Amino acid sequence: MPSDKLKAVALNCTLKHGKDPSSTDKLLAEVLAALGRHGVSGETVRVVDLNIKPGVTPDEGAGDDWPALRDKVLASDILIFGTPIWLGQPSSVAKRVLERMDAFLDETDENSRMPSFGKLAIVAVVGNEDGAHHCHAELFQALNDVGFTIPAGGATYWVGEAMGSTDYKDLKVPYDKTVQTTAMLASNAVHLARLLKAAAYPGMP
């Protein structure tokens, strides 16, 4: 019987390498902290520092870092998918991860269930301006296609005024509406992840 202790993994799909400050990082840390208040443990992975090769198979060969990242995703109950907004859209790093998850469609068990079945996906999006809802839409659709469940209020975000240049990481005080949205997101995700961990989708017998 699985432990009822939930695990999360946060994928930071920023374009910035290494320890460069990342607004996406800041929001993901807030999501992880909010989940932590419900007893969920987790870590953030900066995907651009890995070599996630182009392709749609589970393993694209020598040097491919996806198999190890895939293991982390599948060892977690909650996937927190974090992306910055560029030109109103999710990042190329975010898209690369989604493409690699496409392989889940062919990795079904005897009841036609993908390895992601029963896991939750939630979304965290930041940008200087405009584009969050569209990122939610594309990420929800792609993540749901590859087997994840989306809880009520499954996204949190921050964006500034039209054509703005302020970064989330540079805000001096917490932005109340994002803080509240993140708290509700964590509450919903934990509730639903517990239910699905205790009672898996039966699939198609």
Q: Nearest distance from residue 116's CB to a second copy, in Å?
A: 7
Tally of CA atoms within 13 A in the half-sphere of 46 that contains its CB: 16
For a second copy, the closer of residues 71 and 106 by Cβ is: 106
Nearer to a second copy among residue 44 and residue 178 (C-beta): 178
Closest approach of a second copy to the CB of residue 38, in Å: 10
- Cβ distance to a second copy smaller for residue 31 or 48: 48
Q: For the CB of residue 109, give the shortest distance to a second copy in the complex, in Å.
A: 13
**DSSP assignment string, 27-95:** HHHHHHHHHHTTT-EEEEEEGGGS---SSSSS--STT--HHHHHHHHHT-SEEEEEEEEETTEE-HHHH
Which residues, 6+ apart, have CB-to-CB distance to 11 below 8 Å? 44, 45, 47, 69, 73, 79, 80, 81, 82, 97
Minimum CB separation of residue 25 from a second copy in Å reads 15
Nearest distance from residue 67's CB to a second copy, in Å? 17
CB nearer to a second copy: pick between 81 and 117:
117
Residue 168, SS3 per DSSP: helix
Q: Which is nearer to a second copy, 65 or 187 (CB)?
A: 187
Identity (one letter) of the amino acid at 117?
A: F
